[in-house]
Amino acid sequence: MFKKILVANRGEIALRVICACKELGIRAVAIYSEADRNSLHVRFADEAICIGPPQLGLSYLNIPAVISAAEIANVDAIHPGYGLLSENANFAEVCASCGIKFIGPPPEVIRLMGEKEKARAAMKKHGVPILPGSDGVVATDAEAMEWARQVGFPVIIKASAGGGGRGMRIVRNEDDLPTLYQQAQSEASKAFGNGDLYMEKYVENPRHIEFQVLADEHGNVVSLGERECSIQRRHQKLLEESPSVQVTPELRQQIGGVLSKTLSAVGYQNAGTVEFLMDQDRRLHFIEMNTRIQVEHPVTEMVTDVDLVKSQIMIAAGANLADVLQGPIVHRGHAIECRINAEHPEKFTPSAGKITTFNPPGGTGVRIDTAAYTEGTIPPYYDSLIAKLIVRGKDRNEAISRMSRALEMFIVEGIYTTIPLHRRILADPEFRAGKFDTGFIERFLAKKLEIAG
């Protein structure tokens, strides 16, 4: 087993990884920017190294600085968390060349899944259902038009290197295609330094359902079931749950089986998430794979009792999946996660500053993953996620009641948060009935405005 791990991240996920290290008896080394000097991940790590000024490019995304810290601390491995360097194949390669284990899949697999049209082709080859779309990159708007006619409107143009919903455009008719193609291309070039685009059939009112997998370094892969992530705003998830009311045990088993075979064939290792869209006939279609731990991993942990971060570390140290899991995956109860962002609940603008009161809820079945505290400061430089509130209930109704009361008891003062928005979502009849899709939030916000108007 590793003796020392560097945690190449900040905020709640850095703390989450430190928790896993402590439970495994591994020393954790934190890195931090000058803006995070007083952060809890710094306080609870066994060692901490300042790696630069607040700007991401000069600190958490600065590969030479991160690697130097790892070498100074003499660590065996690096856990990248999510975001930042977690899906950077070059970083994984640099780690390997320095003799440091990158806790994640091999660089070539990160690269394959990072080029989304190649990932689509790989999934299709092994029998995972994908949406009709282009074969690879569409190089010009004329080529895009050809595919669109073949697939039928509406279509969605997506960035090959996409993430965070950027470089994506829905095209409903031929006239709009050239302009939307140019827009997607320039947005993708700016965001990812890569303007490659591909195309898919656009699914009306889909659900976003994703499957959590774990794969060891000996060819064994297991699926830990699904998470329902349809409550999103501008393609960013706000609330997640497991299981999905739309996934039957048969479907869960069928998809789990296909994914195990496919991921074993592509040489997948460590934790990963395979994202699907479900159409109105309840068919699942692959959209992309994330080769890292996800923000919403706790809902799977709550219903399976598997510690995914500890599993990642054990797998990276060479353990067999059978030894990591010690038995079959059993799903019990229902879990919900609310992402608490430091932003205005209606305007969705970031709200950095000092937290004057931070009173997280507790009680049966409640979990909080956060690095926030009273008198702590939310710096303006980073992601707005400040806490994840997760509950488990014996069924969906109990989970909803538990989440509602936990949100009521969650007091954050000094900054705006999305707590009030979540309270209203939890009270919404459409949400309570489980009848929603990725268009839920737009409809929900429009409904509110009508009442207000």
Interface positions with ligand ADP (CB under 6 A): 131, 156, 162-165, 200, 202-203, 206, 208, 232, 235, 275, 277, 287-288, 438
The nearer residue to ligand ADP, 244 or 438, going by C-beta atoms, is 438
Helix (H, G, I), strand (E, B) or coil at 410: coil
Check if 252 is active-site: no
Closest CA to 215 of 124, 322, 89, 87: 322
Residue 270, beta-bridge partner list = 215
CB atoms < 10 A from the CB of 181, how many? 23
User: 76 vs 228, which CB is nearer to ligand ADP?
Assistant: 228
Q: Checking DSSP bridges between strand 77-79 and strand 101-102, what pairing results, if any?
A: parallel
CB 291 within 8 A of CB 272: yes
Helix axes 89-97, 63-73, angle to 10 degrees: 30
Nearest approach in angstroms of CB 275 to ligand ADP is: 5
The Cα angle at residue 346 between residues 340 and 352, in degrees rounded to 5:
55
172's tokens: 């409903």
Q: What is the DSSP letter of 56?
A: G
> For the packed helices 396-408 and 419-427, what is the interaxial angle rounded to 10 degrees?
150
> What is the longest distance spanned by two Cα atoms in the chain?
62
- Alpha-carbon distances, residue 413 vs 246, 283, 343 (angstroms): 37, 44, 12
Q: Is 87 helix (H, G, I), strand (E, B) or coil?
A: coil
Beta carbon of residue 104, minimum distance to ligand ADP (angstroms, whole number): 17
Beta carbon of residue 118, minimum distance to ligand ADP (angstroms, whole number): 14
Nearer residue to ligand ADP within complex by CB, 204 or 413? 204
Here the tokens at position 333 are 């109860």
Query: Which residues on neighbouring strands pair with residue 156, listed in sequence order?
Result: 170, 200
Buried/exposed code over 375-401 (b: 16+ C-beta within 10 A; e: otherwise):
ebbbbebbbbbbbbbbbbbeebeebbe
Name which of 75 and 199 has its Cβ closer to ligand ADP.
Answer: 199
Nearest-angstrom CA–CA distance, 335 and 403? 9
Helices (H) and strands (E) in the chain, counts: 16, 20
Q: Which is nearer to ligand ADP, 194 or 404 (CB)?
A: 194
207 or 334: CB nearest ligand ADP: 207
CB of 184 vs ligand ADP, minimal distance in Å: 11
Q: Look up residue 316 and give its two tokens.
A: 């990276």
Catalytic residue among 227, 292, 392, 402: 292
- The whole-angstrom distance between residue 164's C-alpha and the CA centroid of its chain comes to 10
Smaller CB separation from ligand ADP, 163 or 353: 163
Nearer to ligand ADP, 75 or 156 (CB): 156
Q: How far is the CB of 122 from ligand ADP (least distance, A)?
A: 15
CB of 121 to ligand ADP, least distance (A): 15
SS3 state of residue 150: helix
Instruction: Give least dist CB 158 to ligand ADP, A.
Output: 6
Alpha-carbon distance of 118 to 309, in angstroms, equals: 28
- Least distance from ligand ADP to the Cβ atom of residue 312, Å: 21
In the complex, minimum distance from the CB of residue 208 to ligand ADP, in angstroms, rounded to a whole number: 4
User: If you search the block for the tokens 């067999």, which residue do you land on?
Assistant: 320
How many other C-beta atoms are found inside a 10 Å radius of the C-beta of residue 249?
A: 10
Of 369, 298, 296, 299, the closest CA to residue 334 belongs to 299
Instruction: Identify the DSSP state of 203.
Output: P
Q: Which is nearer to ligand ADP, 164 or 363 (CB)?
A: 164
Residues annotated as part of the active site: 292
